[in-house]
């Protein structure tokens, strides 16, 4: 049994859907979420810059918290820095976030899927490699949506259902116009708009994400490594650590999700 934390990191609040799903299934695990607001957004940054930033962030977290698993709940960070993280921390299990290209390709009847993410994620050859592996006959429509990332990070909690649907609608139309019948949400921030994407896509555009796959991978590593938390004893609630100066807007979000706020290293 192991009382060390499981850590989920992102440039902002994108780790919340993944950490929430994990927490709903693993209530006894100590959970730390990290919002790297000091370096938000990750999407426009180069791969080299991201590797330096994310490895540095991880070093601080490892030194302070000695996590049993580090989950990179960010597609951009995963395609950029996952290999570097695993080399830097060979004894620490590191789980990345892989865009759900495989199930989207397998489900597409029109043989055309959309991928919505950041520029850095979409430029990485990893996505093309997944599509070529699982559906070489399937075309990919890629769209970068930095404005939507910013909307989720700074507006999501205050926005009502109508405003969220208005934010999602143009992207649904853009992919439908280009012939896609499946859409991959390849930025973790977009999972906070998952219900709106599903509603707006209707029966014309199926929505795919990686939440369940990522969480199941974390759970399998806990089981395989004998890292599960004790079945008895006090349980600490999830903590959101925030870097940078832009933090005041996250107070309401912490209350909404039942998170205790802290400072990132």
Catalytic residues: 74, 187
How far apart CA 211 and CA 138 sit, in angstroms, is: 23
How far apart CA 224 and CA 204 sit, in angstroms, is: 40
The full DSSP string for 175-207 is: HHHTT-SEEEE-SGGGGGGHHHHHHHHTTTSEE
Task: For residue 247, give Cα distances in angstroms to 9, 46, 252.
Answer: 16, 25, 11
Helix axes 194-201, 161-177, angle to 10 degrees: 50
How far apart CA 104 and CA 107 sit, in angstroms, is: 5
């Amino acid at each position: 049994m192991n009382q060390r934390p499981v850590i989920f990191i992102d440039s902002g609040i994108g780790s919340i859907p993944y950490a929430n799903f994990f927490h709903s299934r693993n209530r006894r695990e100590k959970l730390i979420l990290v919002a790297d607001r000091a370096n938000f957004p990750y999407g426009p940054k180069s791969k080299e810059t991201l590797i330096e930033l994310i490895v540095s962030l991880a070093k601080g977290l490892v030194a302070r918290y000695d996590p049993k698993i580090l989950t990179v709940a960010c597609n951009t960070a995963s395609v950029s820095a996952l290999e570097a993280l695993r080399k830097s921390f060979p004894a620490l299990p590191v789980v990345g976030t892989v865009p759900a290209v495989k199930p989207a390709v397998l489900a597409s009847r029109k043989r055309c899927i959309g991928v919505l993410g950041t520029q850095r994620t979409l430029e990485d050859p990893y996505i093309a490699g997944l599509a070529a592996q699982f559906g070489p006959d399937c075309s990919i429509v890629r769209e970068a949506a930095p404005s939507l990332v910013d909307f989720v990070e700074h507006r999501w909690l205050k926005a009502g259902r109508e405003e969220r649907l208005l934010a999602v609608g143009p992207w649904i139309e853009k992919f439908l116009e280009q012939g896609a019948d499946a859409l991959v949400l390849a930025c973790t921030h977009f999972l906070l708009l998952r219900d709106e994407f599903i509603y707006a896509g209707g029966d014309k555009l199926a929505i795919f994400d990686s939440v369940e796959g990522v969480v199941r991978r974390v759970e399998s590593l806990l089981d395989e490594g004998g890292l599960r938390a004790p079945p008895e004893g006090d349980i600490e609630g999830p903590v959101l650590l925030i870097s940078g100066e832009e933090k005041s807007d996250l107070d309401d979000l912490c209350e909404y999700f039942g998170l205790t706020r802290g400072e990132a290293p």
